[in-house]
Amino acid sequence: MTVPGLCFVCAGSLLVAANLVAPRSLGAVGGCIPGSYLAAEGSGTQSVLTFSSDGTFHLASSAERAFGFSHIQGTWQRQSAHDVRAVGLDFGLPSDPTGAGAPPEWITRIDMSLRFSPDCRRFAGDFELRFFYDATEDPLEPPTTAPDGADTLTARRIQVPDR
C-alpha cells in the first residue's frame, strides 16, 4: 500500500537534495551572458573576455605587453535582461623588482557598461579607465574623479562550431 503523503515528502526531499548539489542555474545569475567573447575596442586593441556564471570575469588584452599591465580580473552584474555593469582591476607591471617582491607600479580600474544582443551572441558597450599610482588611493571605492581614458568595444561570442 502506498501512502501518497509519504511519496510527496520523498519527492520533495530528493528535489531539495538535488538543488543543494546542483550548480546554480544560469538564468539565476546571468541567463545566456556567461561565456567567452572576442572583443574589438575603438582603438583597435583586441581582447578576450570570459564572463563566468559566478559573477566574475577575466579579460586578456592584446595591449598588455605594449603597455606593461597584467590580465584584468573583476566582477560583473546584470542591470536588466541584457545590460551588464562590470568592474575590473589590473596591475601595472614593475620594470624592476623591489626588495623581496614586485609591487605594482600602479593599479588600473576599468568600469564597463555592456549591452548584450537578445541571443547573447554579441555585445557592445564602453569602458572607462582610472589609474591609481598612490598606494593610499583605493581602487575599490566608487569613482569620484574623471576617467583617465575611455573607449568603446564590440564583441562576438566564441562558440564551438556545429559539425
pLDDT above 70 as % of the chain: 82
Which of 18-22, 59-63, 98-102, 159-163 is least confident?
Answer: 18-22
What is the model's pLDDT at position 133?
94
In this model, does residue 153 exceed pLDDT 50? yes
Of 153, 111, 113, nearest to 128 by C-alpha is 111
Using alpha carbons, list the distances in angstroms from residue 110 to 37, 67, 68, 131: 17, 15, 16, 9
In this model, does residue 155 exceed pLDDT 80? yes
Residue 85 maps to which CATH number?
2.40.128.120
Strands (E), 4-148: 35-41, 46-51, 56-61, 72-78, 83-92, 106-116, 122-132
Domain hosting 111: range is: 27-157
25-57 per-position pLDDT tens digit: 334 345 789 999 999 999 999 999 999 999 999
Residue 7 lies inside a defined structural domain of this protein? no
Whole-number Å distance between alpha carbons of 79 and 77: 6
pLDDT above 90 as % of the chain: 68
Q: When comparing pLDDT for 59 and 81, which is higher?
A: 59
Residue 84 lies inside a defined structural domain of this protein? yes
Q: Confidence band (pLDDT; 50, 70, 90) for 74? A: very high
Residue 9 lies inside a defined structural domain of this protein? no
Residue 162 lies inside a defined structural domain of this protein? no
Say how many domains are in the chain. 1
Whole-number Å distance between alpha carbons of 145 and 137: 12
Kindly state the average pLDDT of the residues 140-153. 95
Residue 53 C-alpha cell reads as: 556564471
What is the model's pLDDT at position 17?
37
Q: Confidence band (pLDDT; 50, 70, 90) for 10? A: very low
Of 27, 22, 24, 23, nearest to 120 by C-alpha is 27
Residue 137 lies inside a defined structural domain of this protein? yes
Residue 96 lies inside a defined structural domain of this protein? yes
Residue 122 lies inside a defined structural domain of this protein? yes
What is the model's pLDDT at position 103?
86
Residue 112 lies inside a defined structural domain of this protein? yes
pTM over 0.75: yes
